[in-house]
Structure 1
Amino acid sequence: MAPLALVVAVFLAYSVPPYLTLDPGRSRVPAPAGFGAHYWLLVAHIAFGTVAIVGVVLQIWPWLRRTHPVAHRRIGRVYVFAGALPSAVMAGTIGAISPFGPVVAAIDVVAAVLWFGFTVAGWRAGRQRRFGDHRKWMVRSFAMTMNTLMTRALSPIGFLVVMPRVADKDSLILDAATVSGVLSVLSLLLLSQWWLDRKPKPASVR
């Protein structure tokens, strides 16, 4: 938990401050032409996303789940309704007109739909007391919550892959964003499924 919390804290410390001023000029995502609401949807996505990423880290903390089940349920509701669901809606909206090209736009929309769907499925399973299914869907929801963080982490790989083949700076940025976006979604889906399918270690015999 400690390494994950540290990575999330560093990511938020880097990503969030430019948007606290509500100055569109400090945005790290260029606004598409003719869509004036883009910046404010982006700010809303980041605000809800911050709630989601902090909430989901608390939700997967075994000590909190085991010793404070009431807090786990309450934080879960905050994660779902004040974090993941609204942030996914905003992500899908601004992702559909991504300035990084149609492939990145498609990836962003797919990731947002998966995030929304996994979260709703997990919440419904919990409400129906199907706790095994609840855990599985929420592991997948957690994976999609980490998509933006993973995309940033994989950006250097994207640049390394496309740099020998692309000389134009604008094309380099677009192609690197495409590679890192695809790798992020695929790796998170595969890792979450591996986590769910892994066999528990056998108890030690004394």
Structure 2
Amino acid sequence: MTATLQKPRTTTKKWWQRPWIGPLGLLAIAFIAFSVPPYLTGDRSQSRVQQPDYAWHYPLLVVHVLFASVAMITCVFQIWPWFRQRHPQAHRRMGRIYVFGGVLPAGVLALTIGMVTPFGPAAFASGIVMAPLWLFFTVAGYRMARQRRFVDHRRWMIRSFALTMSIITNRLWAIVFGIAVGPQLETTFHGDLKLMVYSISGATTWLGWVIPLLIAEWWLQRPEMARRKARSVAGGAG
């Protein structure tokens, strides 16, 4: 069966009429500027994730951080409608970098190092669910583009984008939970710092990617929800 050609939606909006793209790009750059430098030193003690039981964990973590940074920067351009429409060839080339030089290696490494996370079973479960989904969404989006099914390509890549950027929301949740739960160390956690860290990490790793993915799904379902509402209104009026 031949795949049906799907054309992406076009827009007449100028680049400055997308007020979210600038802040998103700055946020990605700021996050990378803060997060990556400690991993460029080769000093294991500066790693924000310490796993001394496995010597291979640190070098794989460093490589994961670098590939994930490539994914973050390129995906900002990939979801920018003005760039996508005005520079389609650059969009395709950068898309390949996003897939093969960003998500795929970063996702495989995320799954590998996630198997030995030092942050407890909840963080472990989150990692082994999130990483395969990240890989699946990205590969599905790439396949749709290769088949010229651009509407489906866009939908899968929005899901991929949500998981790519979820590391930022993960860190934001960590701040929120650290402030909220920190004072309970001697009460709720009976002075057990490791238990508190496990609890915070488990909550933030799940919320960090589940909420962005739910928002992405809501965004993708808006047209269908609007059509159902319109049909319901029309049916009621009839």
Q: TM-score range by the shorter chain?
A: over 0.9
Q: TM-score, normalised by structure 2?
A: 0.80
Return the match for 2:173 from 110, 133, 154. Answer: 154
Return the match for 1:195 from 214, 219, 226. Answer: 219
Q: Percent same amino acid at aligned positions?
A: 47
Matched, 1:43 2:62: yes
Matched, 1:88 2:107: yes
* Coordinate RMSD, CA, aligned: 1.5
For residues 53-76 of structure 1, give each alpha carbon's deviation from its aligned partner in whole angstroms, at most 9, with x where no partner exists.
001011011111010000000000
Q: How does 1:157-172 map to 2 (within 5 A)?
A: 157-160=176-179, 162-163=181-182, 164=184, 165-166=188-189, 167-172=191-196
CA distance in 2, matches of 1:161, 1:174: 15
Flag the structure with more relative contact order, 1 or 2, with Cα contacts below 8 A and sequence separation at least 6: 2
Q: TM-score, normalised by structure 1?
A: 0.92
Contact 1:122 1:134 in 2 (8 A): yes
Return the match for 1:174 from 198, 210, 235. Answer: 198
The one-letter code sitting in structure 1 at the alignment partner of 2:57 is: H
Secondary structure at the counterpart of residue 198 of structure 1: helix
The one-letter code sitting in structure 1 at the alignment partner of 2:129 is: V
Return the match for 1:24 from 32, 38, 44. Answer: 44
How many residue pairs get aligned? The number is 200
Contact 1:119 1:138 in 2 (8 A): yes
CA distance in 1, matches of 2:200, 2:93: 39
Contact 1:32 1:98 in 2 (8 A): no
CA distance in 2, matches of 1:154, 1:196: 24
CA distance in 1, matches of 2:46, 2:176: 26
Which structure's CA Rg is the greater one? 2
Aligned-residue offset at 1:123: 0.2
Secondary structure at the counterpart of residue 223 of structure 2: coil
For residues 14-52 of structure 1, give each alpha carbon's deviation from its aligned partner in whole angstroms, at most 9, with x where no partner exists.
10000111121211111141x211001001100100110
In structure 2, list runs of 5 or more residues that go unmatched: 1-20, 227-238
Contact 1:162 1:175 in 2 (8 A): no
Q: How does 1:3-14 map to 2 (within 5 A)?
A: 3-14=23-34
Residue 62 (structure 1) aligns with: 81
For residues 85-106 of structure 1, give each alpha carbon's deviation from its aligned partner in whole angstroms, at most 9, with x where no partner exists.
0000000000111000111011
CA distance in 2, matches of 1:160, 1:21: 30
Residue 209 (structure 2) aligns with: 185
In structure 1, list runs of 5 or more residues that go unmatched: 202-206
CA distance in 1, matches of 2:98, 2:210: 23
Q: Which runs of 4+ in 1 moved over 6 A?
A: none
